[in-house]
């Protein structure tokens, strides 16, 4: 009897001790203000949005936006690099505070994350091999197109793209591909296109800035046609801290208003993507 009592007491004590650790919601703003550090989670393989520069530090448009947000919060920026699936899965448990990673605000993601503000709109465009004879979007019908799997680009090719964020301009499906091939990420798609025109892929669909950056780095591709749709990309925070979300929303709105986002966009892309074009 004594041992059983002791065991039960032990279990009860453990449950009571662990219960407060489960409640991390609502603490992001306090933690950031107290430690004066904003922890940003970023994908290190996504130039020019976030990548490792020559000095082996994280750099890019998304990183610069994060740095500006941290400055306006009065905090230092700290960057960690977990995998993308971990960031979009939510339940961050305070390991990082914010994600500025060109994330599209979708309904599924909104179940675990909050999207306080859209900070820019990225155009999606088709690209073909440099030696390809394709010169217009109509010629892409029936061809083999490569996209990154699970991205909005795949949904666009499958004609079931739903962008549920306000301010996104309307679009229509201009291309009906013959075969759709999916890859882990954009750079894998470009690699297969690089092998040769028509050898594995005839075309790719991806974010126009990423394609332009690849072309600048020597990938033998060229853009075909103009942007087919604009995707609003938002800052993400963990669910459950409305004050933090409100503060971030306030900061990003201010950055839109005083032209900081426009300056940063022009620095990295040469064009202002922070407001939507019709």
User: Contact positions toward another protein, by CB under 8 A?
Assistant: 18, 21-22, 41, 44-47, 51-54, 56, 80-83, 85-86, 89, 91, 93-95, 187, 190-191, 213-214, 217-219
Smallest distance, another protein to C-beta of residue 53, A: 7
Count CB neighbours of 185 within 10 A.
15
Q: Which is nearer to another protein, 13 or 89 (CB)?
A: 89
Least CB distance to another protein at residue 203 (A): 18
Q: Which residue's CB is nearer to another protein, number 80 or number 135?
A: 80
Based on CB atoms, which residue is closest to another protein, 20 or 107? 20
Write down the least CB distance from residue 191 to another protein, Å. Answer: 8
**Residue with smaller CB distance to another protein, 63 or 255:** 63
Cβ at position 54, least distance to another protein in Å: 7
Q: Whole-number minimum distance, CB 232 to another protein, in Å?
A: 24
CB closer to another protein out of 47 and 177: 47
Contact 155, 161 (CB under 8 A): yes
**194 or 247: whose CB is closer to another protein?**
194
Nearer to another protein, 148 or 251 (CB): 148
Shortest Cβ 204–another protein spacing (Å): 13
Residues 187/211, Cβ–Cβ less than 8 Å: no
Burial (CB count <10 Å: 0-12, 13-18, 19+), residue 33: middle
- Beta partners for residue 145, in sequence order: 180, 203
- Residue 56 CB, nearest approach to another protein (Å): 5
């Amino acid at each position: 009897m004594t041992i059983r009592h002791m065991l039960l007491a032990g279990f009860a004590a453990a449950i009571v001790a662990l219960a407060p650790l489960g409640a991390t919601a609502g603490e992001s703003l306090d933690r950031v203000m107290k430690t004066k550090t904003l922890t940003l989670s970023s994908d290190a393989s996504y130039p020019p949005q976030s990548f490792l520069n020559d000095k082996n530090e994280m750099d890019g448009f998304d990183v610069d936006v994060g740095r500006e947000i941290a400055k306006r919060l009065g905090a230092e920026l700290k960057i960690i690099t977990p995998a993308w699936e971990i960031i979009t899965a939510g339940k961050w448990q305070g390991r990082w505070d914010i994600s500025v990673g060109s994330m599209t605000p979708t309904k599924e993601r909104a179940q675990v994350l909050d999207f306080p503000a859209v900070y820019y709109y990225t155009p999606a465009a088709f690209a073909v091999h440099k030696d390809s004879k394709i010169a217009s979007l109509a010629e892409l019908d029936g061809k083999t197109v490569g996209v990154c799997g699970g991205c909005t680009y795949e949904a666009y090719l499958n004609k079931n793209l739903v962008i549920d964020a306000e301010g996104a301009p309307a679009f229509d499906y201009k291309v009906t591909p013959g075969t759709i091939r999916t890859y882990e990420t954009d750079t894998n798609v470009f690699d297969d296109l690089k092998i040769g025109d028509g050898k594995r892929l005839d075309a790719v669909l991806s974010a126009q800035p990423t394609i332009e950056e690849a072309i600048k780095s020597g990938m033998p591709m060229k853009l075909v046609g103009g942007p087919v749709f604009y995707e609003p990309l938002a800052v993400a925070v963990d669910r459950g801290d409305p004050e933090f979300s409100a503060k971030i929303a306030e900061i990003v709105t201010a950055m839109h208003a005083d032209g900081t986002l426009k300056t940063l966009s022009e620095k990295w892309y040469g064009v202002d993507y922070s407001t939507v074009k019709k």
